[in-house]
Amino acid sequence: MNIALIAHDKKKDDLIQFTTAYKSIFFEHTLYATGTTGLRISEATGLSIHRFQSGPLGGDQEIGAMIANDKMDAVFFFRDPLTAQPHEPDVSALMRLCDVYSIPLATNMGTAEVLIKGIEQGLVEWRELRTKKEGDENAK
């Protein structure tokens, strides 16, 4: 699975703690992240992460493009709801794309726990089955 990791500044430590706790699960997947978040997670965990620009510089939009092109399977976006974000329209657009394309999105630690356990147990494999089915139909 392709998994995106994003965190606002005040939530980066939480996402690092989370990815450290579930490192063995994340290790099994292809990881993408916005700039600083990806660097900090990689340094803390040793996980291989493809890094995009930082969020305000277009990283959110780069991940959004992957979602729109059906190349992202899950998004962990630890948002800070108490601090105004200068790139809030980009954040809203990313969340909207997750809804449009039915991409599981965890925006806090509680939901992230449920999503990562679901990934571990294979409960998100419907994305792979859907992609395979669409490929079969296109081959006809």
Active-site residues, by number, are: 60
Q: Which two tokens stand for residue 15?
A: 């996402």
The residue whose two tokens read 């703690």 is 17
d(CA 112, CA 89): 23
Q: Distances from the Cα of 119 to the Cαs of 1, 113, 128, in angstroms?
A: 9, 10, 12
Work out the angle between the directed axes of helices 88-100 and 59-68 (0-180°, nearest 10). 10
Query: What is the spatial distance between Cα 86 and Cα 71, in angstroms, rounded to a whole number?
Result: 27
**CA 61-112-9 angle, 5° bins:** 55
